[in-house]
A and B are shown apart, each in its own frame.
Chain A
C-alpha cells in the first residue's frame, strides 16, 4: 500500500539493509579475530608455543563466531523467505511515523540513512490520500506508541480504482520493553470491501423495492375496498389480487428481477384459474422479455380478466376457451399487440360500469406504458386488445 513512488532500488532484495550491515560487522569481527590469531602465531615461535590455555581460547572464540555467523545467515534466509511469502505490505516506522524499512510484494528495502535517496522514507500517515484516513493513521500511530494496537481501514491508489487496506499498527519494543519503533502491516481487503459495498447497495435496492411493493399492495387494497359490495367480496377479491402479485413476483425472481418472458407471465397469471385443465387456455406468441413494472401490471390485468371469465365468461363453463395471442410489430419502435379472446362460454352482456379490473386495464396500460387498450363484450365472449410500446414494457425499473 501506501507508497506510490517507484521502488528506488528494484534489485534490493532480502535480507534487509540493516541485516546486511550486521552481517558485514560479523565478517569484519571474524577477519579481525583471524588476523589476531595470525599475529599471535608469528609472535610466538614454534619452540616457544603460547601458553596451553591461550590457543584453545582463540580457537573457541573463532569457532563460536563462525557458528553464530552461520546461524544468523540461516535465520536471515528464513526471514527473507518469510517476508517473500507474506502478502501484506509491512512497514517499520520511527516513533515519529517516518518510514524506515518496508516490505512490499515480498521485497524488503531499507531507507537510505540520510533519507534523501529514498522518496518513500517520509511521513507514513500523510502518504494516505484521503484526509480522513490520515487522521485515522495518526490515531493508530498514537495508539501504537502507547503500547496498544491501532487499526483502521483506508484506500490508496488511483481514485478510479482504489485498493482498500486493513491496517494494523503496533509497537516494536526495544530491549528495555518500551516502544522503540512501530510496525504497520497493511492487508489488501479490496475484494471484501467491494463485496460489502455491493451488499449495502443490494440492501438499499431491496428496501426501495419493498416500499414500492407495499405501496402497490396498499393501492390494490384501497381500490378493492372502494369497489366492493361486501366485506366478503372484498376479502375474496383482495386475496386473489395478492396471489396474482405473489405469482408475478415468482416469475420476476426467476429472472433475477430484471426481466421475465411474456409467456411465463401469462402462464403464471392464468394457472390459478384453469382448474388444472390446460387446454382451456392457449397462449401463443414470440418470446418477449418484459421489465418488472410491466410484469406486475400485466399479471394483474390477466388475473382480472381471468377472474371475470371464471365468474361470468368463458371459464364459467366447461366448454369455454380463452385464447391469448401476441405479436411484436415494427422495428426500433416496436409495439406489442396482445389479444385476449374468450369463446364457448355463456352469452356475454357488457357490464353496467367498469370496476377495478376495467379501470386497472384502461388506466394502468394507457397511463403507465403509453399504450392503448380496447375492452369489448360481443355476445360470443369478452375481447381485450392492447398495444403498447415495447420499450416502455421492457424498462428495467420496478
Chain B
C-alpha cells in the first residue's frame, strides 16, 4: 500500500494451504513447526514475523476449529501457541489447549492472553501460560525451550 520498501517475504505458510508436509520432520535440521492460533490479524502477523525470523516454520489459524483442521491434516506440528478469546471458533483457547493435549499429547501447548491469569481448571497439565503483551525475545526463548523439551 505505502511505497515504503517492504521487508523481505516471510517464511510464513498458511496451514490450510499446505497439507501433508510430513517429510519435513525427518530432516534433523528442519525448522521447528509452530501452529499459531490467534484471531487478531495484526497480532498474528507480528507473532508470525517474530517466530519466522527466529527460525520457526509458522502455520496460522484464526480460531480453534481451523487449528484442529491443521492438526488433523499434518503431523509435523511441534508446538501449539494459542490465544484465549477467539469469537469465530466453536471453543476458546483454553478448550483448544485441553483438547490438543488429550488428542496430541506429544504437542506442547502455550496459551497466550491479556487476561491476568488462567483459572484452576483452564489449562491442561504441562501447558504454559504467557500473559500479553509479551517480550518477543522471551516468547522465542520459551518456544525453543518447549520444542527442545518435547523432542
Contact = CB atoms under 8 A, between A and B. Distances in A.
A215 B49 contact: no
B107 to A, nearest CB: 22
Interface stretch (B2-10, B27-35, B70-78): B2-10
Interface string A212-248: 1011101110110011110001000100000000000
Nearest to A311: B2
A226 B7 contact: yes
A355 interface: yes
B4 A211 contact: no
A214 B133 contact: yes
A249 to B, nearest CB: 15
Nearest to B49: A226
A355 B1 contact: yes
A208 B39 contact: no
B46 A358 contact: no
Interface in A111-131: none
Interface string A78-99: 0000000000000000000000
Nearest to A367: B41
A212 B62 contact: no
Q: State which size class the interface on A falls in.
A: 35 or more
A356 to B, nearest CB: 7
Interface string A187-220: 0000000000000000010011111101110111
Interface string A274-300: 000000000000000000010001001
Contacts of B44: 363, 367
B41 A366 contact: yes
B50 to A, nearest CB: 7
B6 to A, nearest CB: 4
A227 B7 contact: yes
B132 interface: yes
Interface in A340-388: 351-361, 363-370, 375
A367 to B, nearest CB: 4
- Looking at A218, A293, A360, A369, which has the most chain B CB atoms within 10 Å of its CB? A218
A211 B62 contact: no
Judged by DSSP, the binding face of A is helix
A219 B43 CA distance: 6
A290 to B, nearest CB: 13
Nearest to B38: A367
Contacts of A359: 6, 45
Contacts of A365: 41
Nearest to B10: A359
Given A214-B133, A367-B60, A223 B46 contact: yes
Contact of B46 (A214, A218, A355): A218
B1 A363 contact: no
A307 to B, nearest CB: 7
Interface string B43-63: 111110110000000001010
Interface string B112-143: 00111000000000000001111010000000
Contact of A351 (B2, B60, B115, B133): B2
Contacts of A293: 39-40, 87
A381 to B, nearest CB: 14
A305 interface: yes
A118 B130 CA distance: 58
Contacts of B131: 211
Contacts of A229: 4-5
Contacts of B45: 219, 223, 359-360, 363-364
A219 B2 CA distance: 18
14 contacts: A216-B42, A220-B42, A222-B136, A237-B2, A300-B42, A351-B1, A352-B5, A356-B1, A359-B6, A360-B45, A363-B41, A363-B42, A392-B88, A396-B87
Interface of B: 1-7, 39-47, 49-50, 60, 62, 85, 87-88, 114-116, 131-134, 136
The 10 A-B residue pairs whose C-beta atoms are closest, nearest first, are A357-B1, A364-B41, A211-B114, A358-B1, A219-B46, A367-B41, A353-B6, A215-B133, A212-B114, A368-B41
